[in-house]
Structure formats: C-alpha cells, structure tokens
Structure 1
Amino acid sequence: MLLHLLKRDLGKKKTVSAILFAFVLLSSLLASAGAGLIRELAGAVSGLLGTSAVPHYVQMHSGALDPAAIERWAADNALVDAHQIVEMVPVKGSRITLGDHAGPESASVMDFYFVKQNEKFDYLLNLSNERVEVAQGEIAVPVYFKERRNLEIGDRVRIAHRDFVMDLAIRDFVRDAQMNPSIVHSKRFVVHPADYETLKRRAGAVEYLIEFRLKDAGTIADFHAMYQASDLPKTGPSVDLNLFRMLNALTDGVLAAVAILVSLLLVCIAMLCVRFTLLATLEEDYREIGVLKAIGASRRHIRGIYLAKHAALAAAASLCGCAASFPAARLMSSDIALYLGKTDRGLAYFALPFAASAVLCGLMILFCMLVLRRFGRIPAAEALRSGGIGEAEISRSRWRLHRSRLMPVPVFLGLLNVFQRPRMFGLLFFVFAASAFLMLVPVHFLNTMESPGFIAYLGIGRSDLRIDLQHSERMEERFREAVDAIRRDADVERFSPLVASRFRVLNDDGTVGQLNVESGDFTIFPLEYVQGGAPRDDNEIALSVLNAREMGKRVGDTIRLLAGGEERTMVISGIYQDIANGGRTAKARLPHDPDAALWYTISLDLKPGVDPQAKIAEYERAFGPAKATDLPGYIRQTLGQTIAQLRSLAMLAFAVAIFLSMLMTALFLNLLTARDRSHTAIMRAIGFQHRHIRTQYVAMALAVLAAGIAAGTILANTAGQSLAGAVWSLLGASDIRFVIEPVQAYVVCPVILMLAVSAAAWIGAESARKVNIAEMIKE
C-alpha cells in the first residue's frame, strides 16, 4: 500500500515533485563539486610542491655574493637539510617575442628569467609533473604564457638582445611551484645549459635565488629570524613554503569555498522547499489523513507515507547531483589541471563528494521528520469535518478596502494579505533576500577588481603610468636620468619617484629583523589606509597590514630602524593594504642607500589628451631596460586569472539566484493557493475573475520581493563586503570597499529578478483556476 500511495502521489504532483527534485539536485551538485574541488586543489598543490621539492625558504638577491660564505653558514646551521644557489638571467620583455604574437612583450608586467633545470631540488616540471628537460635550441615556457598567448609545442620564442638573436622552439611548458600564479610577477623559462651560458654571457646580468630545504618545515619562522640576523645577502624579498602554498591555492580555493557556501545556502532554502511542499500536501490531503486515522491507521504509518516520498526524492536527487558533480568539478578545476596538475583518483576522489551528498540527504530527511511532527496535532473528527488545517492567527490591519483609492482592488488585497500574515511571508522574504545577496556580492566584487582603484590594494598609488627599474648596472644613475627626463617632459602633469631598500629592524625582544621600506612622497599618489595616513615627516613610517599584524603594531606605536649607520625611532603613521610583494612592505621618507636599493619606481600622471600607449613606448626606448606599464594593464596581467574565475562565478550566481527565486515563488504560491481555496471560491462567487486573483498573488510576491531585494542589497554592501575582506586579508587587504555600479546593482539586477518572479507568480497562481466553487460552498 505504501508503494501504491507513493506512486499515486508522485503521479498527481509531477510538477512540484520535479521542481523539488531539481532543487535538491542543484544543492547536492554544488556541495559535492565544492568538496571535490577542495580535495582536487589540496591534492594538486601538495603533489606539485612535493614532486618539485619546493624550497622551504628562498632569499632573492641581486648583485654580488660569496657562495663560500653561504656554504659555511648553511653547513653550520642545524636546521638546514640542503641548500643551493640558483642563477637566473633576466631579459627585458621588449626583447622577447612569444609564438605568433604581433610584437614583443613590451607591455608585460612580468619579469622574464632564463634558467637551467635545478639539480638538488626546486625542480621545474612539465605538464606531466616530470622534470623538464630540453635540448639545445629548445625552451620550456611557463604555463602562464601558454594560457595567455595560446602557445603550443613547436611555436617559437625569439630573444633579440642587443647584438645577437636567439630563436628557440617550445619543447614543453613549465609548472613552477614558486612562480605559477599570475600574482607572482617573476616567470622562469628553462633552456639548455649551453643556451643558458650564451644568454648569461651576452646579457651580462645575473640574479640569484638562495634556496634552503629544512629538516623540519615547522622551523621556518626560526630559520627566517636566523637568516635575517646574519650577514648573508638580502637584496631582494624573501619567501617561504607557506606563501608558496597559499599563492598556488588562492584563486581556485576561493572558488571552492564560495561553491560550498552557496550550496549551504541552497540547503537551507531546500529545507524551506520541503516545508512548503509538505504543508501544501497536508492541506490537499487533510481529509484523506482524517479517513486514514479514523479507520485505525497509526500516526507512524501515515508519517511513513509522506516521509517515504520525500526521502526517495532526496536520495535520488542527491545521487544524481553527486554523479553530475564529477564533470562539473572537472570543468571548475580546469585551471588546477593546467597550473598544478591532475591528482590520483583514488578512494577519496569518490568518497568526499559522496559524503557531502549523503550529509545533505540526511539533513533533508531529518527536516522532513521534524515537519511531519504536526501529524500528532490533527484530530480525525476535525479533519473529516473541516477538510483543512485552518488558518493561522491573522494579524489585524488598519488598511480598509473602502479607503483605497490609489491602487486596483486585486493589488490592494494582495498587499493586505502580506501584512496580515507576516510570519508566513517571512520565509519567502528570507529566500528573496538571500537571492539578492547571492546575485550582488560576486557582481560587486568583480566590479571592484576590474576598477582602476583596485590598484590601491596592491600597495600602489593610483596613477596613469608606472616605470619600474630592477637591479642592474648603473641603476642609481639611470634612475636619476629618468627622473630628470620626466621632470622636463611637458606631457607629465605630476610624478613621484620611489626607492625600495632593505633596513634592519631592532625588535622589542632584542633580535634583529629586516624590513623592505619604499622611500618617497606618498601624498602625491595616496594609498588605501586601514588606519592612519601617509608618512609626512622623516620620523614617520607606514606599515602594510601583514607587517603590522606580525609585528603587533598599531598607529602611534614606534619601531626602531638602523638607517645610515644610526638607530632611528619611527612612529607608525598609518597601516595600508598590500597584496603584492608578499604583502610585507613599509613606506617612509627615509634617505636611501644606493648600495642597498632593491628597486626603483616612478609613478606619473599624464596631461589630458596624451596617449598612454605612445608614452609607454617612448619611455621603454628612453629608459631601457626599465619597464613602463599602464595600471589597468598591470591589474589585468596580475589578477587576470582571478578576475576570469570571478566573472564565471558571478554569472553562475546570477543564474542560481534567478532560478532560486522563481522556484520558491512557484512552490510558495502552490502552498498558498491550497490554503486559500475557500477564500478563492468566495472571491470567484462574488464576481472576481481569474486574472484578478492572479494579479493578487503577483502583487503579494512582488511586495515581498521588494523588501527582500532591499534587505539583500544592504547585506551585500555590508556583510558581503566584510566577507570579501576576510578572503583577501590572507594576502594583506583586509578592508575591501566595493565599487558599486548603481545602474547595474539598483536597476538592472532588481528588474530582471522582478520579471522572473512575476512570471513565476503568474504561472504559479494558475492552480487557483482549479478551485471548484460549488464543491467548496457545499463543504
């Protein structure tokens, strides 16, 4: 009998059952895909770092060094397991042409380094996660350029460096555990040792990575303190295993986390769907339930009939969602496969998505059981007599129909219904608010990252152009020549030269640390400060968020620097956001030591009407090998991969929000029309046409939707902004402020949502047509 009733119920409510099935399937798909993506990402990052034997600690250095001193220091350090010095030959992008691209990489913000394959560790891997090996005349190119320039094996890389030209064939593509992500501006190309020696001899400049593998990765912090307190080379930033892991996992990790958060939101709303459908079913079957109880059917058996249907739906939908999650996860993890490699598909590959679906299915069944507890409150005699559960207490309203002269009667009755039953419509309000939140937060975040002002979160003031001079011969002299030339340039409206140097810091515990400080005037192109402001006096300094957090400093505190051979007490004037350079920088107005300079930059604004691209080309020719870029291009190249992922996520969230709102509107109106059968019959009897009743239901849905959109918009602009800041705080930007496009956020998105809900309400109210007036009056 249970199977017969189950089959009959599914056949009678095909549309509602199909909608509920689809909704649970979508929840299961996202939960399983998110869980699978996290497993895939964790496995891929771990596999890449392990296979490449990534260093635990790396000190970048430009200039002369003493390998013997490094060898002695490493041999005497009990924490060191192995070390090596990796040489890299930098070549300017304007001298490199990749594949069939129309011209050289002059506009690229990336630093091009040519290296040999390493011998001890820090191996550069191919797309099979094997050590890259190339023959003479061949080259292995980073996967970043494979994706950006659509390169294929066999394409050519041309290096035109001063008086020689080297033409190399692409043999493979490189996965670099240190420099894979686009947010890391250094990229390593692997060439044959003979070609490397030619480049080294012709280019005339070499930079170094001083790399260490430790016996215990947990001692990285201790080792960092030891190295910084030593006299070993430090002309460049230092990075460690934790940063490598975070940078490799950042983009896809955010996508996976958002997918799981969306799935949790959908699970909550799916439970509301179950509640709506169960209550609607109880309304329709109230008399049948009374008959079953009257003939002796136990409450447990009656509950089993309804529980079986929804348990079967939840189980089938969860299994289908789990199955569909595998191709969906493969689609979502395409960047993981390219940049990090594929993971082994062992038991965990299937177990984790299945477990996520099983948990979701269990939650749905548990919630069904909680809703079905009301069977104990249904007396058989009352059910046979009334045929309905009865209305909940209706709140009184001062609205009176005879006083309404500004709106049509159906619209007035719809609004009155909403105000009289706030508890019932509160559930629909929650769904609409969640849908608006889900729709707007990714859109706001995408607009923020694509806006020119986002450059401030990279620890860079907003300007038209930026000129970078890396360490090379006569760097100080060439920097001064560039500053003088820009000062005389009539096309330049304002400019700010900056010099980054490394200073020693005297910590409160007596140890000595290192701090990269950029010196110059930071009031010309101001940064985004979380607290305080720019340093204006010689004894003031501003710290990045990560530096302030690690040093335990706030605005008004002091730090002690060794500058010019003497100790200087610096007052912290501000704390700013910076997701570049490892997020650990500082800004001050200190005099710099040319021998300790790390890099030079010049930020400038052009006068109106001046072509930025023409200026970039002019400065590239005049100040070579300096690199000139416009800041929108800088953001696009640095965060292009993250922006592309976020754009896909925004489109998916938009579609899910529309689908969610339409589905819940249809299910809610199905419940409401079932409850209001007697009211509908009375309205039909006194002359209301079906289109009037439909208009009433549409007015109800739109009234609740308007309130939900308002609440969702407020949440998106507050809680959503805080959520985005929490994600980016891992890299050093803890106070993200959304850039909101008013027309898009407050007109286009709400109008589309309203049209979708109106259509769903108009269709959902069709069931009111089936009300039999004569039968309802007889009852």
Structure 2
Amino acid sequence: MYAVYSLCLANLRKKKIHNGLIGLLILLSTLLLATSVTVILNTNNLFTEMHNKTHGSHEMLTLGNELHDPQKVHQWWNEQEGVTSSELVPFRTLGGITNHRGKESSAGLSAIGLYMMNTPARPYAVDELIFAQGNESLNPDKGDIWVPTSIAYLYDISVGDTLGFTTGENDFELKVSAVIVDIPYGGPFPSGARIWMNHQDYSEQFQAMQGTDQYLMGLRFDDYSQSPSYWEQFEKDMGTPYLDSKMNFGEMTAFYLIMNKAIGFIMIFLGFVMMVVALFTIGFTISDDILSNYKTIGVIKALGLSSRRLIGVYLAQYVLLAIVSIIPGLIASHFISNVIVESTLSSLKTGTNQVTLEGNLLSLAVGIFVFILIVLCVFFFSNKARLVEPMQAIRYGMSESDNSTMSKRISAKENLMISFGRVPLLVVIGLRNMLKNKKASLLMMLLAAIMSAVLVLGFILLNSLSSSSMKQTSPLWGYDASDVILQVNNKSAFSRAEFDKEILSDSRIKNIGWIGGINGVVSSERNLNAYDSDSQPPMNFSISVIDGSYDEVGFTTLRGENPRNKNEIAIGIKVAKQLNKDVGDVVEAYIDGSKHSFMITGVYQSIANMSNSARITVDVVKVNRPDYNNLDAVFINLKEERETDHVVNDLNVKYKESASAVKQQTLLDSTYKQAVASLILPMSIMGLLFTGVTIIIVYSISRINIRKESKTYGIYKSIGLTSTKIRLSVSLGIVALSAIGAVIGMLVGVYILPLILGSILSDYGIAELPLIMHWGGIIAFACVAMISAGLGSWASSRVVATTSPQILVIE
C-alpha cells in the first residue's frame, strides 16, 4: 500500500501543472452541469412558488359589454365548485407613459400598452399583489399608483417617482407609492402592464373618455386539468362558446421561463461537452503516461508490484483530483446560478423576498455523477497497465508487437519514393509533431471545434437579437416590419378619414395599414345539446384584423401566404397543430359573435402570443358590422428609412391630442433588450471558460509532446536550427490543426446547435429560430479558437528556447 501511496504522490508532484489543468477541467464541467440543472429547476420552482403565494390565476378573462354580460359571466364562475374567481376589475387602456420624473419618458416606456385599473380593496382571492417596494395598503391613496416590477426594474422606476399619462383629451400625473409583483401581466419582455389607480382618480380621469369600461377576471382552478370540462359546461349553459379574449396559464408563464430554458439547454449541452473533453484528456494523459513510462512500469512489475496496485495508483491520483475539483465547482455553481436566475426572473424579486435557490441535493447528484464518470474513465484507461509484460518492457521499452510494427513503419518510410524532401523544414517539423501524436492532435482539434461552436453560437444569438438585426428578423418573430407605428389614444378627437387623406398625400409615405385586434373561437364540431366526453373544448385565440395588406407592412408566413379576401385566414402554428389544420383546409370560427367559414391560406409563427393567433382582413368583420372601426393602430412604411425620425416627430406634434407615433425599431428594442441582457452574462461566461480551457489544454498537451521530443529538438538546435523556428513550426502545426477544428465547430455552431435550440423554443410558438448569419463575425469568432491554440502552443514551447541543446539531448 505504501508503494501505491508513494507512486501516487510522485505522479502528482511530477506533473503539477498538468494535473492542475485536468482538475480545472473537472471543476468547469461540474460548474456548467450543476449550474444548468439549478437554473432550470429554480426557474420553475420560483415561479410556481410565487404563483401559489399570490393564489395566481390559471386563466385571465377580458370582458366587454358587447359579446357577453360581464356580470353574468362573473356570477356563473362564482357558482362553480373547484374554481375561485377574482372580482370584476374595471380598466381602461392607454398608449404608454408620457413622462417620468417630470421629463419626457424613454421610447420604451412610451410604447408600453397600459391597463389602467380601478383598484378594488385588497386582499384578493385570486392574483394577490406582492409589494416589492413601498408601504403595503388596501388600495392606492388619491394621487398615487402601484406599478409592476416588470417595468419598474427595467426602466428604473422607484417609489416617489411621478409618471405622466394622457387620455388624448386630458394629461395627468400620478405618484408611484408602491412597486408590486403582478404575476399575469408582470413577466419579462413587457409589452403591456397593469397600473393600479385609486378609485377616485380613475373616475375623474376616465369619466369623459370615449368608450366604456372593460373588465379583467382571473380564474384559479383547484385542478387546472379540469378546465376544459368547465368551459364545456359554460358553453352548454350560455348557449354559445366564450367569445371574449382569454389568456391561459401557458401564455402567462411563457416569458418567465423561456430565457432560462434556453440558457439551461445551452449550459447542459456545453457541460456535457466539457465533461467529454475532461474524460478524453484524462484518458489521453493516462495512455501517454503508460507509453512514456513503459520500461519503468515493466521494472516495477518485475519487482513485484501487481497490476491491480498499478491501477490503484492512477485511481488514487484522479479520485483525489476529482474530489478537490468537484467541491469548488458545486460551490461556484450556486453563486453563478443565483446571478443568472436573479437577472432573468428579476420581476419576481421583492425587497423582503430575495431569490433563494433550491436543488442542493440535485447539484450533489450532478457532482456524484461526474465523480463516477471519472472513476470509470480512469479504470478503463489505466487497465492498459495490465498488458505491460516486464521482459518486453525492459528490452524494447514497449510491447514486442508495437516494436515490430514500428520497425516495419521505419523500413516502409525509407522505401517511399515520395517524401518530405521538397517540403519546407518548418512544415515538416510541424506535421511530424502532429502525426506522431495522433491522440493529442485529435484532442486539440476537438477542443478547437467545441470552442468555435460555442463562440459562434453566442455571436449568432446576440447578433440576431441586436437592434440592427431585429428589424430584419421581426417578421419571423411574428411582428410587422413597418417603419412607424401610430397608436390612436383618443378616438373622439381623431378623424381617420382626414388622417388617411393627409398621410397618403405625404410624399414621404409609401403605404399604410390599419390594424386592430379581436377575439376568435373555434368551437368543437358537435351539437350543443349532444355532448361527447372526447370532443375538443372550444379554442380561444387572438386575431389580427387589418385594413390594408399584411404583406406590405411586413408580416410573413412559414407556409402559404397572408389572407387577402374575406373568406381567407392565416393561423399560427399552435392553432394549426391543435386543430390539425394546414394550408388549403377549411376552418369555422366565431368572430365577434358570428360564425364564419374560412379557407386557410397560410401558417405563421409568433412569439408574442405563442402562435395562438390568426390573421384576417377587416372585410370579415364588416360582413356583420359594416360600421366596424375598432382599428386603433396604423403601420406606416416610408420611401426613405432615413426620414423615420422626422415623420415620427411630425405626427406627434400634429396629433398630440389624440395619438402617439413611435418608430418600430423603438418597440423592438424595448421588447428584446432584456433578452440580450439576460443572454450576455451566461454566454460571456461560457465563451471565456472555453477560451481559457482551450489555451490551457493546448499548453499542457504541447508541453507533454515537447518533453517527449526534447532529444529531437536538442539535435535540431545543435545543428543550427534556431529556437524561434522550432517553436514557430510547432505552433504552426497546431494552428493548422485547430483551423480544421474551427471550421467544423463553425458549421456546428451555425447549423446544428441553432436547430437543437429551436426545438426548445417550439413550445413557445417558434418553429424556425430567426437568426442573422453575419459571416464576417462568424469567421472572426471561429478564428479565436485558432489564436487561442496558437498562444497555448507558443507558450508551452518556451522550454525549447530556455534550455541548452546539450541538456535537451541528455534529457
């Protein structure tokens, strides 16, 4: 046993740097795997915990007075056992915050759709509000409002700030008295937010505003899986499907979970890759050590040390390394996970309820899993020590079969007609170094490929979500591609006929398209009096209504085309999947209370509502309502994009009492800047980790190869070859090798990894991940792998320059 202990310590002392690097690899793979598991687990747990704490709704109904009587709907749900319903909360919609702290608000704030709530007294049976900042109270005092964390944290709104609003007819300011967690409308990437007002302020500001109150009502089911049966009963009792808009639990949770699922997937994938690299490195090191010390092992075995104890030397060495490396990796993963979860779920964070991570046992299981993999790898490769025969080892320094093979190779090379005689010397030395150390070369090429894939994927994701790229990809995310969007805030002071006449006579304008929203329902194919337990429940989805052309304002489809006639419809991929319909099929739907039959002309994707949506023309609604005019936004395309700022300013000045204009780029920036911020940290960490690991491992492997070839390099120096040329030849060979790996990694990062990531986003209504391939940047990031490998190999070859030829030959 003492012999095993002594040899283990000798191995650790002899290769301090190399063992340290392997330990670092184990640490990093543990870190990535444990972090990814912790992030995914806590994302679901933290949201579920907060949802339960607030008695969060599973479905949110929006009710007007046209399709259903809100009081009757509310009464029906109050009578249902197993369902808790909230109060009917009146609200009016406004088109953004006009000023913040007395100054004009940012473009993002001014573009957010606002639900101005007539706040009932707390506590609430469903969707209770959690106070993150400010004093908790039953309702806001006069002159005060509560704002959600989703916009407060994103736009630096604090208690005591004043926010300005406009109804078109009247401008008013209110003071923020509290910042609250509002689960249904408080997720990341906010395009809308609920502003909770005092009852008296609400009455004063909106009593003269055109239109009537709408209502929000939340439903919380004891067993959410029973929701379809309740809606079937609703349709039976009311004689019609629910025709107003409805937001389900999946839509509420989507943006809370999407970023961390994407980040978790990337980290799990890269963690496994890092683990494979660590195992490959361990296997390479053990195999190389056995071959390099073949004669020594033969002598030790001849002296009586058994093969089992030789294997025990390697097991003891790497078990110790694993324990020392895994524990810090698990500890570090806790802190990094905390940073990632806090940045992506910041809207759930309160002053008194800081994010506390769970899953320590699962992280420990990850550490044990990594430990077991290392032990199995060490046992597999160290088992080669059993094959060492003492007599052959002492005589040949290798097995007799290997010696015979090597002799044949030498003879074959001497008889070759073609040789490296005409190839430059530096190239010969570099190629010889790679060909003689095939396993090491394979490992370095694999490292370059992995690093290139990681960097390229990170660059593609961040570049595709950048401001400059979003305008190009917005149609593939389900948005328009217009230049300017004008939102009508006060219809009583706005004349559409005059606006159309003036805007179309403007020489800067190319085309316009008026758009609005309406709710659609596809009811199950059956008689209302004959209920089938296997029938599908009614499906509610939002519908875009356009007076103009979808194609002109930039909306696109995955298959088919956008609707042009009143009997045509384009549907989102989630609707198509649930209805089992595709282009050319016929679908019947209730729209605005009337049943219509449509031919499906196209299928598209949209992340805004997880593709639970459809598109129709305004002619469909005008069949039953010829005076329909609920189109409250207009998309404007310009002949010259550089005129965008001027057009926006002109429109805001001219229609300041009734409408607000904003660049489409501004809306996209406000929506996606949070996604970019969430991605930068984890992608930067992973990019730096893989860059550092590549440099370190290339350095370590090159150092081993140089030590094995020290005598050869000593001879080179003694016959006049300079150290710089030797180092350069070695480095050039490794750079050429890493270039092959970088090309492979670049292709993986461009084509394979986005495809896998896209499968994760399919649950969120995205079938094809919209990416911008900036090949200049892709090639530049792929080249970083080559540069890293070159730096590692150049640094490792310094021993050639600092050691005299005589000592190298002696070694």
TM-score when normalising by structure 2: 0.86
Correspondence for 1:82 = 85
Correspondence for 2:181 = 175
Correspondence for 1:749 = 781
Q: Could you say what secondary structure the match of 2:338 adopts?
A: helix
Structure 2 counterpart of 1:124, one-letter code: L
Does structure 2 conserve the Cα–Cα contact (< 8 Å) formed by 1:495 and 1:603?
yes
Structure 1: how far apart are the matches of 2:86 and 2:255?
23
Q: Deviations over 1:485-530 (max 9, x none)?
A: 3223322112223343334535555676545433442231343432
Correspondence for 1:124 = 129
Correspondence for 1:40 = 42
Q: Deviations over 1:678-737 (max 9, x none)?
A: 654665566544433323321221122111111111112211221232233222121124
Correspondence for 2:792 = 760
| 457 and 206 in structure 1: CA distance in 2 versus 1, 3 angstrom threshold | farther
Structure 2: how far apart are the matches of 1:131 and 1:39?
31
Q: Deviations over 1:374-427 (max 9, x none)?
A: 1111112232234457688879899621233xxx31223423554677665333
What is the CA-CA distance between 1:308 and the residue it aligns to? 1.0
Does structure 1 conserve the Cα–Cα contact (< 8 Å) formed by 2:188 and 2:255?
no
In the alignment, structure 1 residue 429 sits paired with structure 2 residue 437: no
In the alignment, structure 1 residue 403 sits paired with structure 2 residue 431: no
What is the CA-CA distance between 1:621 and the residue it aligns to? 4.8
Correspondence for 1:215 = 222
In the alignment, structure 1 residue 518 sits paired with structure 2 residue 544: yes
Structure 1 stretch displaced more, 195-204 or 264-273:
195-204
Correspondence for 1:357 = 367
In the alignment, structure 1 residue 663 sits paired with structure 2 residue 663: no
Q: Could you say what secondary structure the match of 1:460 adopts?
A: coil
Structure 1 counterpart of 2:90, one-letter code: E
What is the CA-CA distance between 1:535 and the residue it aligns to? 3.0
Correspondence for 1:733 = 766
Correspondence for 1:201 = 207
| 498 and 297 in structure 1: CA distance in 2 versus 1, 3 angstrom threshold | same
Structure 2: how far apart are the matches of 1:569 and 1:161?
38
In the alignment, structure 1 residue 603 sits paired with structure 2 residue 635: yes
What is the CA-CA distance between 1:541 and the residue it aligns to? 2.3
Does structure 2 conserve the Cα–Cα contact (< 8 Å) formed by 1:516 and 1:584?
yes
Structure 2: how far apart are the matches of 1:713 and 1:534?
35
Structure 2: how far apart are the matches of 1:148 and 1:586?
30
| 715 and 266 in structure 1: CA distance in 2 versus 1, 3 angstrom threshold | same
Structure 1 stretch displaced more, 351-360 or 619-628:
619-628
What is the CA-CA distance between 1:298 and the residue it aligns to? 1.0
Does structure 1 conserve the Cα–Cα contact (< 8 Å) formed by 2:241 and 2:521?
no
Structure 1: how far apart are the matches of 2:558 and 2:169?
50
Q: Deviations over 1:320-351 (max 9, x none)?
A: 11112222222222225631237799994432
Does structure 1 conserve the Cα–Cα contact (< 8 Å) formed by 2:294 and 2:397?
yes
Q: Could you say what secondary structure the match of 1:139 adopts?
A: strand
In the alignment, structure 1 residue 587 sits paired with structure 2 residue 615: yes
Alignment of 1:202-601 (within 5 A): 203=209, 206-224=213-231, 230=238, 237-336=245-344, 338-341=346-349, 348-387=358-397, 400-404=419-423, 408-415=424-431, 418=434, 425-450=441-466, 451=469, 452-469=471-488, 478-505=495-522, 507-508=524-525, 513-520=539-546, 521-561=549-589, 569-589=597-617, 590-593=619-622, 599-601=631-633
| 254 and 131 in structure 1: CA distance in 2 versus 1, 3 angstrom threshold | farther
Structure 2: how far apart are the matches of 1:432 and 1:468?
51
Q: Could you say what secondary structure the match of 1:180 adopts?
A: coil
Does structure 2 conserve the Cα–Cα contact (< 8 Å) formed by 1:479 and 1:600?
no
Does structure 2 conserve the Cα–Cα contact (< 8 Å) formed by 1:81 and 1:213?
yes
Q: Could you say what secondary structure the match of 1:108 adopts?
A: helix
| 619 and 723 in structure 1: CA distance in 2 versus 1, 3 angstrom threshold | farther
Does structure 1 conserve the Cα–Cα contact (< 8 Å) formed by 2:133 and 2:180?
no
Q: Could you say what secondary structure the match of 1:356 adopts?
A: helix
In the alignment, structure 1 residue 711 sits paired with structure 2 residue 711: no
In the alignment, structure 1 residue 652 sits paired with structure 2 residue 685: yes
Structure 1: how far apart are the matches of 2:63 and 2:280?
59
What is the CA-CA distance between 1:561 and the residue it aligns to? 3.9
What is the CA-CA distance between 1:101 and the residue it aligns to? 4.4
What is the CA-CA distance between 1:441 and the residue it aligns to? 0.8
| 346 and 59 in structure 1: CA distance in 2 versus 1, 3 angstrom threshold | closer
Structure 2: how far apart are the matches of 1:377 and 1:70?
81
Structure 2: how far apart are the matches of 1:699 and 1:227?
74
Structure 1 counterpart of 2:677, one-letter code: A
Does structure 2 conserve the Cα–Cα contact (< 8 Å) formed by 1:504 and 1:514?
yes
What is the CA-CA distance between 1:22 and the residue it aligns to? 1.8
Structure 2: how far apart are the matches of 1:494 and 1:676?
72
Q: Could you say what secondary structure the match of 2:673 adopts?
A: helix
What is the CA-CA distance between 1:17 and the residue it aligns to? 1.7
Does structure 2 conserve the Cα–Cα contact (< 8 Å) formed by 1:444 and 1:740?
yes
Structure 2 counterpart of 1:756, one-letter code: S
Does structure 1 conserve the Cα–Cα contact (< 8 Å) formed by 2:235 and 2:241?
no
Q: Deviations over 1:74-131 (max 9, x none)?
A: 256556343432222333325x422364447686321122322553211121228997
Structure 2 counterpart of 1:483, one-letter code: D
Structure 1: how far apart are the matches of 2:103 and 2:391?
82
Q: Deviations over 1:539-598 (max 9, x none)?
A: 432211111111111222221345799865433222111111342122234432458776
Structure 2 counterpart of 1:22, one-letter code: L
| 480 and 122 in structure 1: CA distance in 2 versus 1, 3 angstrom threshold | farther
| 586 and 493 in structure 1: CA distance in 2 versus 1, 3 angstrom threshold | same
Q: Could you say what secondary structure the match of 1:489 adopts?
A: coil
Correspondence for 2:531 = none
| 554 and 661 in structure 1: CA distance in 2 versus 1, 3 angstrom threshold | same
Q: Deviations over 1:274-321 (max 9, x none)?
A: 123323433443333222211111111111112111111111111011
Q: Could you say what secondary structure the match of 1:239 adopts?
A: strand
Does structure 2 conserve the Cα–Cα contact (< 8 Å) formed by 1:89 and 1:203?
no
Q: Number of paired residues?
A: 772
Structure 2: how far apart are the matches of 1:388 and 1:527?
69
Correspondence for 2:532 = none
Q: Could you say what secondary structure the match of 1:463 adopts?
A: coil
Correspondence for 1:630 = 663
Structure 2: how far apart are the matches of 1:562 and 1:244?
24
Correspondence for 1:111 = 113
Q: Deviations over 1:604-629 (max 9, x none)?
A: 21232753233224334545544432
Does structure 2 conserve the Cα–Cα contact (< 8 Å) formed by 1:543 and 1:572?
yes
Does structure 2 conserve the Cα–Cα contact (< 8 Å) formed by 1:469 and 1:601?
yes
In the alignment, structure 1 residue 695 sits paired with structure 2 residue 703: no
Structure 2 counterpart of 1:438, one-letter code: V
Structure 1: how far apart are the matches of 2:134 and 2:232?
33
Structure 2: how far apart are the matches of 1:217 and 1:539?
35
| 528 and 767 in structure 1: CA distance in 2 versus 1, 3 angstrom threshold | farther
Q: Deviations over 1:731-771 (max 9, x none)?
A: 2121124202222111x223333222111011223456799
User: RMSD of aligned C-alpha atoms?
Assistant: 3.5
Q: Could you say what secondary structure the match of 1:588 adopts?
A: strand
Structure 2: how far apart are the matches of 1:662 and 1:468?
54
Does structure 2 conserve the Cα–Cα contact (< 8 Å) formed by 1:455 and 1:631?
no
Structure 2 counterpart of 1:592, one-letter code: V
Does structure 1 conserve the Cα–Cα contact (< 8 Å) formed by 2:462 and 2:676?
yes
Does structure 1 conserve the Cα–Cα contact (< 8 Å) formed by 2:448 and 2:786?
no
Correspondence for 2:16 = 14
Does structure 2 conserve the Cα–Cα contact (< 8 Å) formed by 1:127 and 1:341?
yes
Correspondence for 2:530 = none
Structure 1: how far apart are the matches of 2:810 and 2:190?
77
Which of 194, 197, 218 pairs up with 1:191? Answer: 197
